[in-house]
Structure formats: C-alpha cells, structure tokens
Amino acid sequence: MDDLQPTAEQLQCLYRLCHQLTNVMFQPIHIVRLDERSLNIFILAGQNEGIELEIRPDGSVV
C-alpha cells in the first residue's frame, strides 16, 4: 500500500539509529523499508550486511 506511513516514534528512533550507525559506528546502511505486514521499519546495515534491526510502531527496537 502506498499510503503507509511510519509513526512519529518510529521516525525518531530511525533518526537515532541512522546517526549511530553512520556517524558513531561508521557502518553503511543498505536498506530501510516499512514492512506492510508487521508495520515495522526494517534496517539492513553493516559492512557485510550483518546488522538487522526492526523498529516497532511504538519506537522500540527488535
């Protein structure tokens, strides 16, 4: 669905994680997407794509 939007909590957490990954840990981010089934934001990062994170709609990280 094209009208899916992340929550404000997800966006705040996404910003913090992206900052930590790129400016603190110096890791590349490969994919960021909103999973339409779970409504979680999925992040694939790391030199060898070894970092997988999900941000729930309430802003918690899985």
CA-closest candidate to residue 29, choices 54, 56, 9, 49: 49
Q: Report the distance separating Cα 3 and Cα 16, nearest Å.
A: 24
Average pLDDT, the chain: 96
Backbone CA torsion sign across 35, 3, 21, 31: positive
Return all residues near 50 (Cβ < 8 A) that are at least 6 apart: none
Residue of higher predicted confidence among 3 and 43: 43
Report the SS3 class of residue 1: coil
Q: What is the pLDDT of residues 16-38, one digit of tens each?
A: 999 999 999 999 999 999 999 99
Residue 43 pLDDT > 90, yes or no? yes
For residue 3, name the pLDDT band (cuts at 50, 70, 90). Answer: confident
User: 10 Å Cβ neighbour count for 27?
Assistant: 16
